[in-house]
């Protein structure tokens, strides 16, 4: 083979350097700021304070509650839709999924503005139900992200499995619970990862519906506005730990499913 100055492998270097500089480095800097005080001395005060302060713990609990509600409702709404699109009456219309995914491409603040106007019309004043409105707006925002992975998992499912179940006398709920649901677990898991984390951190939705209670993301926002880099960093670091834990758990489930 002809020798040349050019080696395909070298093409990976620019992106590798970019990742180190602008993905890994910033996270290390955040860890550094999170575990030092204003003079730059190593300190766990901020970390300990987060878990002992009632206000910050309340925020953590509130964001978990919101995230659980949003994720469960998204799952309940998205599963039948994904099933009908993949295996039901709409299975032959390939481009129909597109209709459900399309809203994802419209700017989310504009979409929430639209929903907000409707909710204002129905409720009169958004301030009466901050929690409900937050959950509705987040479900509206994230639903396509749940439908997509579920649809992908359900299309791969072999239809003869379902037919075999019916032929052997299983009722529709039995087929769903014993065959379809277990086989679509990878889709459910990746759908949950797409929705749960944004629901814990997307504080813009709360701001837009005048929900003045904080979630984890709002804490970063308020420390950022107060130029409190150390406390902002410790929240980011705690969120990173959550994300890491989440990723490890989902990876475990995924590899177990594939095996």
Considering only residues 136-155, where is the footprint of other proteins by CB under 8 A?
140, 143-144
- 69 scored as a contact of other proteins (CB under 8 A): no
Beta carbon of residue 41, minimum distance to other proteins (angstroms, whole number): 17
**Residue 161, number of CB atoms within 10 A of its CB:** 12
Residues 190-209 that bind other proteins (CB under 8 A): 193, 197-198, 200-204, 207-208
- 102 scored as a contact of other proteins (CB under 8 A): yes
Contact present, 42 and 36 (Cβ < 8 Å): yes
- Residue 198 CA to residue 205 CA, distance in Å, equals 10
User: Tokens 């951190």 map to which residue?
Assistant: 201
Beta carbon of residue 179, minimum distance to other proteins (angstroms, whole number): 18
User: Tokens 């949950």 map to which residue?
Assistant: 192
Two structure tokens written together for 12: 């990976």
Contact present, 69 and 138 (Cβ < 8 Å): no
- 30 scored as a contact of other proteins (CB under 8 A): yes
Give the residue with the Cβ less far from other proteins, 179 or 190. 190
Beta carbon of residue 113, minimum distance to other proteins (angstroms, whole number): 6
Binding other proteins (rule: CB under 8 A), the pick from 47, 64, 69, 90 is: 90
Contact present, 62 and 131 (Cβ < 8 Å): no
Two structure tokens written together for 99: 């209709």
Under rule CB under 8 A, how many of the chain's residues touch other proteins?
Answer: 82
Binding other proteins (rule: CB under 8 A), the pick from 44, 57, 62, 109 is: 109
Among residues 248, 141, 156, which one has the least CA distance to residue 194?
141
Beta carbon of residue 51, minimum distance to other proteins (angstroms, whole number): 18
């Amino acid at each position: 083979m002809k020798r040349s100055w050019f080696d395909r492998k070298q093409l990976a270097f620019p992106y590798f350097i970019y990742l180190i500089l602008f993905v890994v480095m910033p996270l290390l800097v955040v860890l550094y700021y999170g575990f030092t005080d204003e003079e730059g001395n190593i300190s766990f005060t901020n970390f300990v304070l987060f878990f002992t302060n009632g206000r910050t713990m309340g925020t953590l609990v509130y964001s978990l509650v919101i995230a659980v509600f949003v994720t469960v409702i998204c799952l309940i709404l998205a599963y039948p839709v994904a099933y009908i699109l993949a295996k039901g009456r709409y299975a032959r219309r390939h481009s129909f999924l597109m209709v459900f995914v399309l809203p994802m491409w419209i700017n989310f603040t504009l979409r929430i503005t639209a929903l907000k106007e409707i909710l204002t019309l129905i409720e009169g004043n958004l301030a009466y139900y901050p929690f409900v409105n937050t959950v509705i707006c987040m479900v509206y925002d994230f639903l396509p992200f749940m439908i997509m992975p579920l649809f992908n998992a359900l299309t791969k499912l072999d239809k003869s499995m379902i037919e075999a179940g019916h032929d052997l006398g299983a009722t529709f709920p039995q087929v769903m619970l014993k065959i379809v649901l277990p086989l679509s677990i990878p889709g459910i898991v990746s759908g949950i990862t797409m929705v749960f984390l944004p629901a814990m951190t997307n504080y813009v939705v709360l701001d837009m519906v005048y929900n003045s209670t904080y979630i984890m993301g709002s804490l970063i926002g308020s420390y950022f506005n107060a130029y409190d880099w150390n406390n902002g960093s410790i929240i980011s670091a705690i969120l990173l730990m959550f994300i890491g834990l989440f990723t490890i758990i989902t990876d475990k489930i995924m590899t177990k499913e594939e095996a």
